[in-house]
Amino acid sequence: MIHAWTVVGTAGFSVGGADFTSLALESTGTPFVANSDGNAGGAATVQKFVTGSGWTVVGTAGFSAGTAGYTSLALDSTGTPLVAYKDSGNDGKATVQKFVAGSGWTVVGTAGFSAGSTQYTSLALDSTGTPFVAYVDNDNRGKATVQKLVGGTWTVVGTAGFSAGFVVYTSLALDSTGTPLVAYVDNENRGKATVQKLVDGTWTVVGTAGFSTRRTQYTSLALDSAGTPFLAYADGNAGFAATVQKYESASWAVVGTAGFSAGVAPFTSLAIDSTGTPFVAYKDIGNDGKATVQMYS
């Protein structure tokens, strides 16, 4: 069988420009996409793909109180979406909201829970539905920090500011045991991609630090059902088109073709379905900056 990347629904499906696209799949494989919505003043919007109807809004478009930077989407075991973002209404600190049927979008824990301002917020849920958020921590010289919700309070996981140096594009995933892994663009390694994992309370590198060929942007991490890490990013070795790599046999290898998108692919966001098929969402410069999703099949 010949594999190729194909569009899900319609290319450029959002009403306006879509920044900070973030993709998640429910158990049936239905894709959801969150973004900072150019049609709603940069507030957060979530859409899902409904067969026969196309991409439809979940709840209300532009549901955040103000501008939502670095939107990051996750679904719980019931398919309920949660979104983390940099909250302009709370001094740029991190906020998480959840969609509650009949009530709309509500804050999880406390709005603006991080110690200081954040960038590149990334959300994941463990098997019990506990949310974790990774971000660039401006209270720790731009290093990476992870927090999780414990008894209604957001607490630091491991050590705050655990990366070797300044990072960007933090992306979080949890394995089946609830162990967090974080990917980022590593400025200690010329802007290449690095992944770290929490092992016995200490953050350790997965494979080699700075494993991508050249500088990357918009790193997005996901694990398949076996716990294998995949990483999508805009690839500086391919004109910043989208590339996906997979960690196997103790090294990182390209999935399909490097630079598979038609052009530059900002805000790449990766998800893996139950069969191990990767999906990538991105802002499609070839379609007026609207959202596009491709899958590897």
CATH number, domain at 180?
2.120.10.10
- Among 284, 189, 197, smallest CA distance to 234 is for 284
pLDDT, residue 27, reads 87
Question: Between 2 and 151, where is the model more confident?
Answer: 151
The residue range of the domain holding 112 is: 5-296
pLDDT, residue 189, reads 95
Mean pLDDT score of the chain? 93
- Count of the separate structural domains present in the chain: 1
pLDDT (tens digit, 9 = 90+) per residue, 161-210? Answer: 999 999 999 999 999 999 999 999 999 999 999 999 999 999 999 999 99
* Segment 139-144 mean pLDDT: 96
- Alpha carbon of 295 to those of 86, 91, 273, 276, 280: distances in Å? 28, 37, 10, 11, 6
